[in-house]
Amino acid sequence: MGSAIAELAIRGSHELYSAYNQHQPRSGIPLKLDLTDLSAIGRAVRKIRPDAIVHAAALTDVDRCERERDLALRVNYEATSALASAARESGAFLVYVSTDYVFNGERGLYSESDEPDPVNFYGYTKLRGEESVEELAGDYCIARASVIYGAAPASGKANFALWLIERLRRGEGARVLVDQYASPTLNSGLARMILEAAERGLGGIYHMAGADRVSRYEFAAGLCKALGLDASLLEPARMEDMGWAARRPRDSSLDVSKAAGALRAKPLRLIEALGILRGELGCSLE
């Protein structure tokens, strides 16, 4: 997603710095930055003095966050606090990319006014990040997304869609949940919404996710149909069978009506998003 935002921003003639730690960015002026070095965050912002900052980096491995809580707090909360303070001091508009996992998943289709109640430590650290942005940043937008996927890996790690595509193309079965619901979000569509929010200084909390609530299995079946993959290789599974270290919300789908009303770049319906993904992958139906 960060790379997608960078590419869009450059096409829009913005001067762009792309912060990274291990993986050299494809676009923008490279800026080596370790988010666990809190003083380095302030120094970087003071040096560049940006008009806007998009904070899309996080420790997103849910089970690792459960096991390595100090690291999760450092990256997802403390670094966000340092960045929020630096943004306020420099007068930059801050967009903080958050997650549907701030909700407990008991009912789904959460709106921006619903009370967060995370069920795992990852969600807790991202919520703490949101709170620090609200408290410390001057002008900000909190953009919550859900199951972000796209045509390229994130920092070398395949997203759910790419993982599934690779397995099915090898003729291997894939266990996919029938009882966990979300709002899958195409990274390039999310990038357009986030960039618009940054350009317009659109303040507050917005759910910038996909426009459809679907189970993981329904998402996988739609992906198979869009890309001509063998859906018979999908193996229905249930959350209770997964053996995760951390709990997951059962239905963390998001109500995107606020974003749909405010943004020119609208949240995408799943069928539309998968068609875009097919084009980005260079695939065609057979």
Q: What is the CATH number of the domain that holds 174?
A: 3.40.50.720
- Please report, for residues 193, 216, 257, the alpha-carbon distance to residue 229 in angstroms, rounded to integers and kept in the order given: 29, 16, 32
pLDDT computed for residue 285 by the predictor: 44
pLDDT computed for residue 284 by the predictor: 41
**pLDDT 10s digits, 62-102:** 999 999 999 999 999 999 999 999 999 999 999 999 999 99
**207 assigned to some structural domain:** yes
**87 assigned to some structural domain:** yes
**231 assigned to some structural domain:** yes
| CA–CA separation, 18 and 262 (whole Å) | 27
pLDDT computed for residue 158 by the predictor: 81
Q: Of 240, 228, 252, 120, nearest to 175 (Cα)?
A: 240
Least confident of 15-24, 137-146, 216-225: 15-24
pLDDT computed for residue 155 by the predictor: 64
> Could you tell me which residue, 43 or 285, shows the higher pLDDT?
43
pLDDT computed for residue 283 by the predictor: 55
How many domains are contained in the chain?
1
Active site (catalytic) residues: 122
pLDDT computed for residue 109 by the predictor: 98
Q: Is it the case that residue 206 has pLDDT exceeding 60?
A: yes
**222 assigned to some structural domain:** yes
What's the whole-number mean pLDDT along residues 194-207?
A: 98
Residue 263 banded pLDDT, cuts 50, 70, 90: very high
**286 assigned to some structural domain:** no
Q: Is it the case that residue 246 has pLDDT exceeding 80?
A: yes
- Please report, for residues 133, 146, 153, 240, 282, the alpha-carbon distance to residue 161 in angstroms, rounded to integers and kept in the order given: 30, 13, 10, 22, 15
**pLDDT 10s digits, 142-187:** 999 999 999 987 766 789 999 999 999 999 999 999 999 999 999 9
pTM exceeds 0.75 for this model: yes
**64 assigned to some structural domain:** yes
pLDDT computed for residue 26 by the predictor: 86
Cα-flanking dihedrals φ and ψ of residue 250, to 5°?
-75, -35
Beta pairing class for 140-145 and 204-207:
parallel
> Could you tell me which residue, 23 or 284, shows the higher pLDDT?
23
pLDDT computed for residue 73 by the predictor: 98
pLDDT computed for residue 156 by the predictor: 63
| CA–CA separation, 156 and 170 (whole Å) | 20
What's the whole-number mean pLDDT along residues 53-65?
A: 96
Report yes or no: 229 and 169 within 8 Å, Cβ to Cβ: yes
Across the chain, what does the average pLDDT equal?
A: 95
Q: Is it the case that residue 10 has pLDDT exceeding 50?
A: yes
Domain assignment of residue 124, given as a range: 2-281
